[in-house]
Amino acid sequence: MSDIQGYSQPTEAQFGDYVALLKPRVMSLVVFTALVGLLVAPVGVHPVIGFASILFIALGAGASGALNMWWDADIDAVMRRTMGRPVPAGKVQAGEALAVGLSLSGIAVVMLALASNLFAAGLLAFTIFFYAVVYSMWLKRSTPQNIVIGGAAGAFPPMIGWAVATGGVWIESVLMFMLIFMWTPPHFWALALFMKEDYHTAGVPMLTVTHGRKETRRQILIYTVLLAPIGIWAALTSIGGPFTLAVTVVLNAIFLKGAWDIYRRDETVAEGDKYLVEKKVFKFSLAYLFVHFTAFLVEAVLKTYGMGGW
Amino acid sequence: MSFRPDHELHRRRLSRNVGVGLTLAAFICLVFALTVVKVTRGEPMQAFDHVVRPELLKAPDQ
């Protein structure tokens, strides 16, 4: 009898565990930036086609997340931040994550091609390949520049959204791409400064591990300085206007001040106040991207009332 | 007549089965809505299908 009572069922994966494979929080950022890319484009899109396209872009992003969880299960298991993910937690088998990732990638790309156009679908396929193969399999474990180049994968969604509407690439969509691309390094390195033991334990060559924390602080400042003119340039194009320009100037001033504060500090001071400034800059960086893209959206709405734009 | 009680496996997998069912239903609705939109907007219904379709050929002046 005790044998029967002692027998435990293997953990059964619930539907939510498969949803968690798709990294819903990353998907929410993808949905938002892709939606902005689609709505600020100069070509109108039917609401149903727009909705379906955003859904399939998000599904493609989720699929690449599942492929990343399949490949990175070993390092996810040793990092505190990621050890609760479905694969290292033992809820979903690594092979299942691979199957989910591959099949959803195929569905997302084919359906986006049918719903919108081949160019947007090709861009989505390239984004999935870039995140799963170039970033996860190749760069993440081999170079401290992993975040810089891998950030491109997260920067594609507004370009795909724009391509859904226009069927091509314009300078405005490239600038939206560049905005996220240049924003990613200071955002992640600020996180790496106060989550140090995690990346160190996993042996991921984060800049903080390979080049030291002083150099990381310097690189955060460099990328934040490079980010500022891109935001200003985007505000001066057809998707911008006086409102966006004002928002951009304020956002970049705050971000630059934060990056400068991080650069001026050393580890003794940072440990003294438990990385207060680094944590504040990390939180602000999230707001930076959200507010910047919201400004593009507000400008587009203002334009329909004859107020925004240049 | 009585229904057979569910196997324990069915109870364990209830959330998965309901989730997959609802996802598939939503997907069907979406494809139907896309079809309605594309058809009512008069987008091309035909494409190359291994035989020449005269109506798909461009007119000489195009």
| pLDDT tens-digit series, residues A56-109 | 999 999 999 999 999 999 999 988 888 999 999 999 999 999 999 999 999 999
C-beta atoms of A12 and B12 within 8 A: yes
Q: Closest residue of A to B11, CA-based?
A: A12
C-beta atoms of A115 and B34 within 8 A: yes
The domain locations on chain A are 15-169, 171-310
ipTM of this model?
0.82
Q: Mark out the alpha helices in chain A (DSSP H runs).
A: 2-6, 15-21, 24-40, 47-71, 73-76, 94-115, 118-129, 146-166, 171-194, 196-202, 207-210, 212-235, 242-264, 267-272, 276-304
C-beta atoms of A49 and B34 within 8 A: yes
Contacts of B13 in chain A (CB under 8 A): 12
Averaged pLDDT, A260-275: 90
Q: Mark out the alpha helices in A116-241 (DSSP H runs).
A: 118-129, 146-166, 171-194, 196-202, 207-210, 212-235
Averaged pLDDT, A215-219: 94
> What pLDDT is stored for residue A121 in this prediction?
97
* Residue B54 binned pLDDT confidence (cut-offs 50, 70, 90): confident
* Residue A144 binned pLDDT confidence (cut-offs 50, 70, 90): confident
Contacts of A100 in chain B (CB under 8 A): none
> What pLDDT is stored for residue A8 in this prediction?
45
Q: Which of A4, A8, A9, A12 to mutate to test the interface with B (most CBs of B within 10 A)?
A: A12
| Structure tokens, A269 | 């001071």
Q: What is the C-alpha to C-alpha distance for residues A58 and B1, in angstroms, rounded to an integer?
A: 48
* Residue B56 binned pLDDT confidence (cut-offs 50, 70, 90): confident
Residue found under tokens 């990353």? A26
> What pLDDT is stored for residue A6 in this prediction?
42
* Average model confidence (pLDDT) across chain A: 92
Which of A12, A18, A48 lies at the smallest CB-CB distance from B13? Answer: A12
Residues 43-62 of B with CB under 8 A from A: none
Question: Which residue type is seen at A62?
Answer: G
Whole-angstrom CA distances from A70 to A14, A34, A82, A147, A219 are: 17, 25, 13, 19, 31
CB A258 within 8 A of CB A298: no
Residue found under tokens 């979903």? A92
Q: Closest residue of B to A115, CA-based?
A: B34
CATH of domain A15-169: 1.10.357.140
Say yes or no: A113 contacts chain B, CB-CB below 8 A. Answer: no
Contacts of A115 in chain B (CB under 8 A): 34
Best CA proximity match to A139, nearest among A129, A150, A128: A150
Q: What is the C-alpha to C-alpha distance for residues A29 and B26, in angstroms, rounded to an integer?
A: 22
Say yes or no: B30 contacts chain A, CB-CB below 8 A. Answer: yes
| Structure tokens, A176 | 């939206």
Q: Mark out the alpha helices in chain B (DSSP H runs).
A: 8-12, 14-40
| Structure tokens, A104 | 């959803």
Distance, in angstroms, between B3 CA and closest chain A CA? 25
Q: What is the C-alpha to C-alpha distance for residues A221 and A185, in angstroms, rounded to an integer?
A: 10
